């Protein structure tokens, strides 16, 4: 590609990726080059080949250095190990460069027949990209019980919510839905909901609606045309964006961008599909449209419009790949050649959206983002391992607090209160949460008291995890177990 060091241009790191990645990325590079925009491609690797060399992150230092320097990358799909130690190279790149937003447009395409054809689906999923369960903090707490920490921050929620409103403004959209599971996870998903409701008044020109995520999935299948922008947490966004791509013809038409304040990485939503690698049959549209998003990010709005319109013209005039229909399907290369030939032409019945430059939100960079007036430790949850019944465990755990400023309030198993008995009959495992709270008249729980409590617990049972029960500005920073008063 463009490697002449004497030619002026914008430097972009390009990661061909695994499986079908090199084919669809090369097709996209050819189309972008044909627009006349001067891109200096800097090829680097990540993914399967790097894992095979024994690097657990899947991303070598030279690739990291290139992205840190260019600040823009076009990336093919990378293989992710399943069920063993290596981290996802995709997630590694997102986290290293704090690309906190994953933007995934979904739009009905000409010539791509689906059960939703003619409904006018045209929406964007704005997914938080580095927090939530994807923090990847997991532990086996007993031999048969594993834990994953769902971490969501006020700052992370505000950044993604504000960006969703900015996407709506840049693309001339009218409404933003915030999809959460705040009815169940009131502190984590609830934080996203509360942040959305606090930020929405700053964008009075945009309609703001909260929706429970399972209802959102239901509504997307029934009436997807009602949505413009959906902002949501990491796991929810991962699921919803795959669902929405299925409405318009599949992952072959699903572009994506990982955006941060410093770095942007552009990639299709689809995977590496190794069984199709090297066959020159894969649809490059998703990566092509990711390239359109990259051009917009670089300020090349006219070139972005020309490529998007050329893709629409190509599909409208009946050139398609095997994922649309096997009969008469074009190869990857011929599809890209046809798009190049159609540059400068406009579709007859399909309009490319008039997209303006996206304004990135700016927040206070300090870690201490939230300012508190008061905080108080009012108790402690001690998680222990024991192979006995709640009726046997309760009295022994109650006794360890004798003479201390705390007392046992309850014991839960998998989130349900089992001691004192409630009449419920849960199927218990060997993982128990023992909740100790301050006795009447006590004002605060000190670390020395918690340390002594743990020493006493350890004489009888193995403990593996401790959580302080905090009050922030007199609001409880913890939830109750099912059945707990």
The predicted structure's pLDDT at residue 469? 97
What is residue 204's DSSP assignment? T
Q: ∠85-90-93 over CA atoms, to 5°?
A: 105
Full-prediction pTM beyond 0.75? yes
What is residue 87's DSSP assignment? P
Strand order in the sheet with 264-268: 39-43, 10-15, 72-75, 264-268, 255-259, 101-107, 122-128, 229-232, 175-180, 207-212
Domain 124-235 sits in CATH at: 3.40.50
Before 389, cis peptide (omega within 30)? no
Question: Which pLDDT band, with edges at 50, 70 and 90, does 248 fall under?
Answer: very high
Q: Is the predicted pLDDT of residue 8 greater than 80, yes or no?
A: no
Q: Which of 337, 333, 369 is nearest to 158 (CA)?
A: 369
Strand-pairing partners, residue 39, are 10
Span between the terminal Cα atoms of the chain, in Å: 66
Domain 1-114+248-353, what fold? Isopropylmalate Dehydrogenase (3.40.718)
Is residue 354 among the annotated active site residues? no
Is residue 181 among the annotated active site residues? yes
Q: Which of 313, 318, 305 is nearest to 342 (CA)?
A: 313
**Structure token pair of residue 253:** 């038409």
pLDDT tens for 328-368 read: 999 999 999 999 999 999 999 888 888 988 999 988 888 76
Q: Is the predicted pLDDT of residue 200 greater than 50, yes or no?
A: yes
Question: Which pLDDT band, with edges at 50, 70 and 90, does 155 fall under?
Answer: very high
- Residues 291 and 303: their CA atoms lie apart, in Å, by 10
Q: Which of 159, 181, 193, 417 is catalytic?
A: 181
pLDDT tens for 29-50 read: 999 999 999 999 999 999 888 8
Question: Which pLDDT band, with edges at 50, 70 and 90, does 236 fall under?
Answer: very high
**Quick one: CA torsion of 269, 273, 279, 283, rounded to 10 degrees?**
-20
Q: Which of 319, 339, 327, 321 is nearest to 20 (CA)?
A: 321
Q: What percent of the chain lies above the pLDDT cut of 90?
A: 82
Q: Which of 238, 323, 337, 381 is catalytic?
A: 238
Q: Which of 134, 323, 381, 417 is catalytic?
A: 134
Q: Are 468 and 450 in contact (CB under 8 A)?
A: yes
Is residue 238 among the annotated active site residues? yes
Kind and range of the H or E element at 238? helix 234-247
Beta strands (DSSP E) in 213-364 are 229-232, 255-259, 264-268
Q: Which of 69, 202, 214, 447 is catalytic?
A: 214
Q: Which of 146, 147, 148, 144 is nearest to 387 (CA)?
A: 144
Q: Which of 182, 181, 180, 185 is nearest to 149 (CA)?
A: 185
Question: Which pLDDT band, with edges at 50, 70 and 90, does 84 fall under?
Answer: very low
Domain range summary for the chain, segments of one domain joined by +: 1-114+248-353, 124-235, 375-476
Q: Is the predicted pLDDT of residue 5 greater than 50, yes or no?
A: no
Is residue 6 classed as helix, strand or coil in its secondary structure? coil
**Structure token pair of residue 360:** 């990135």
Is residue 473 among the annotated active site residues? no
Is residue 373 classed as helix, strand or coil in its secondary structure? coil
pLDDT tens for 369-427 read: 678 889 999 999 999 999 999 999 999 999 999 999 999 999 999 999 999 988 877 89
Q: What's the gap between Cα 146 and its chain centre?
A: 22
Q: Per-residue pLDDT averaged across 209-226, rounded?
A: 98
Beta strands (DSSP E) in 168-326 are 175-180, 207-212, 229-232, 255-259, 264-268
Domain 375-476 sits in CATH at: 3.30.70.1570
Q: Are 280 and 332 in contact (CB under 8 A)?
A: yes
Strand-pairing partners, residue 127, are 102, 232
């Amino acid at each position: 590609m463009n490697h002449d060091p004497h030619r002026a241009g914008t430097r972009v790191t390009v990661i061909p990726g695994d499986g079908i990645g090199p084919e669809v990325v090369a097709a996209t590079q050819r189309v972008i080059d044909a627009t006349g925009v001067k891109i200096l491609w800097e090829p680097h690797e990540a993914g399967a080949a790097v894992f095979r060399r024994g690097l657990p992150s899947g991303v070598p230092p030279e690739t990291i250095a290139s992205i840190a320097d260019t600040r823009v990358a076009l990336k093919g799909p990378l293989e992710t190990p399943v069920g063993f130690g290596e981290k996802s190279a995709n997630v590694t790149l997102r986290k290293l460069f704090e690309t906190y937003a994953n933007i995934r447009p979904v739009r009905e395409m000409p010539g791509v027949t689906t059960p939703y054809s003619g409904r006018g689906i045209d929406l964007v999923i704005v997914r938080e990209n580095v927090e939530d369960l994807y923090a990847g903090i997991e532990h086996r707490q007993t031999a048969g019980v594993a834990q994953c920490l769902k971490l969501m921050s006020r700052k992370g929620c505000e950044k993604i919510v504000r960006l969703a409103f900015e996407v709506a403004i840049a693309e001339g959209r009218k409404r933003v839905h915030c999809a959460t599971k705040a009815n169940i996870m009131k502190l984590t998903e609830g934080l996203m909901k509360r942040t959305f409701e606090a930020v929405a008044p700053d964008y009075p020109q945009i309609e703001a609606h909260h929706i429970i995520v399972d209802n959102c999935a239901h509504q997307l299948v029934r009436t997807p045309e009602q949505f413009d922008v959906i902002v949501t947490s990491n796991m929810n966004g991962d699921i919803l964006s795959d669902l929405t791509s299925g409405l318009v013809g599949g992952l072959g038409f699903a572009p994506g961008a990982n955006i941060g304040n410093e770095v942007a990485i552009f990639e299709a939503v689809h995977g590496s599909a190794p069984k199709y690698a090297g066959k020159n049959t894969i649809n490059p549209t998703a990566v092509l449209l990711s390239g359109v998003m990259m051009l917009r990010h670089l300020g090349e709005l006219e070139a972005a419009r020309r490529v998007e319109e050329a893709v629409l013209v190509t599909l409208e005039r009946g050139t398609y790949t095997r994922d649309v229909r096997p009969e008469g399907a074009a190869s990857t290369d011929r599809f890209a050649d046809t798009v190049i030939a159609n540059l400068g032409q406009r579709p007859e019945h399909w309009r490319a959206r008039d997209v303006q430059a996206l304004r990135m939100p700016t927040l206070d960079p300090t870690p201490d983002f939230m300012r508190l007036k008061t905080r108080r430790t009012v108790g402690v949850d001690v998680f222990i391992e024991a192979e006995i019944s709640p009726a046997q465990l309760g009295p022994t755990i109650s006794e360890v607090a004798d003479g201390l400023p705390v007392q046992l309030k309850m014991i839960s198993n998998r989130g349900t209160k089992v001691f004192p008995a409630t009449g419920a009959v849960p199927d218990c495992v060997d993982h128990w949460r023992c909740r100790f709270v301050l006795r009447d008249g006590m004002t605060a729980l000190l670390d020395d008291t918690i340390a002594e409590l743990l020493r006493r617990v350890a004489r009888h049972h193995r403990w593996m995890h401790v959580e302080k029960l905090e009050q922030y500005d007199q609001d409880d920073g913890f939830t109750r177990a099912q059945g707990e008063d």
